[in-house]
Amino acid sequence: MTITKNQEAGKLTISLEGRLDTTTAPQLEGELRTAVNGITELIFDLEKLDYVSSAGLRVLLAAQKVMNRQGSMKIRNVNSDIMEIFEITGFVDILSIE
């Protein structure tokens, strides 16, 4: 999985590419732990993400909980396969998906 970060002041955009699974989720989790400090607006661009397992969902949920305390979080460009997973798991109601 490739993680691309783009920060403009308090706004951080993270683009994910490839698979967000058990193997790669800890990598994203590690990145976020340091990157979200002082961030008020976190944006995930999932345009090139083709796979999410529950491990990936866990990281997204944790990020949402953090951002609920310090600002807002948005998810962009979700493809239909991943949208289906969000729908099955009820994540569509938790995350702000654009």
Partner 1 sequence: MDQNKTRKNRIVSLRFKIVVTIILTALILSVIAVTISYNVYSNTMDLHYKTLTSNLAKTAASQLDADALLRYYNEVKQIGEYDEEKYQSDEAYRKDYDAKANALKDDEYVRMLNVLFDIKDSNGITYLYVQKLEGNLCTYIMDADTSEEQCQLGTTHGVSGPTKETEHPEEGIPAFITNDTYGWLCTSMEPVRDSEGNPVALVGVDVSMNDIMEDRANYLRSILLIMGIAVVVLMFAILFFFVKALINPINMLSNAARSFIQDRNSEKKNDSAISKLNIRTGDEVETLCDSVKQMESDINTYIANLTAVTAEKERIGAELNVATQIQADMLPRIFPAFPEKKEVDLYATMDPAKEVGGDFYDYFLVDDDHLALVMADVSGKGVPAALFMVIAKTLIKNRAQLGESPAVILKNVNEQLCEGNEAELFVTVWLAIIEISTGKGIAANAGHEHPVLKRADGKYELVIYKHSPTVAIMNGINFREHTFELHPGDRLFVYTDGVPEATNAHNELFGTDRMLAALNRNPEASPKELLTTLKKDIDLFVGDAPQFDDITMLNFCYKCSPVVKELKVDAKRENLEEVLAFVDKELEIANCSMKTQMKIDVAVEEIFVNIANYAYAPETGSALIRIETQYDANRVEITFHDWGMPYDPLAKPDPDITLSAAERQIGGLGIFMVKKSMDDMKYSYVDGQNVLTIVKYLD
- Residue ranges in contact with partner 1 by CB under 8 A: 21-23, 50-55, 57-58, 61-62, 64-65, 68, 81, 85, 88-90, 93-95
Task: Count CB atoms within 10 A of the CB of residue 36.
Answer: 18
For partner 1, the closer CB: 6 or 84: 84
Residue 95 beta carbon to partner 1: minimum distance, rounded to whole angstroms: 8
Nearest-approach distance from CB 75 to partner 1, in angstroms = 12
Structure-block tokens of residue 62: 């944790």
Handedness of CA 82, 87, 90, 95 (dihedral sign): positive
CA distance 59 to 67: 12
Least distance to partner 1 from the beta carbon of 72, Å? 12
Give the residue with the Cβ less far from partner 1, 12 or 20. Answer: 20
Contacts of 49 (CB under 8 A, 6+ apart): 16, 17, 18, 19, 20, 79, 82
Nearer to partner 1, 7 or 40 (CB): 40
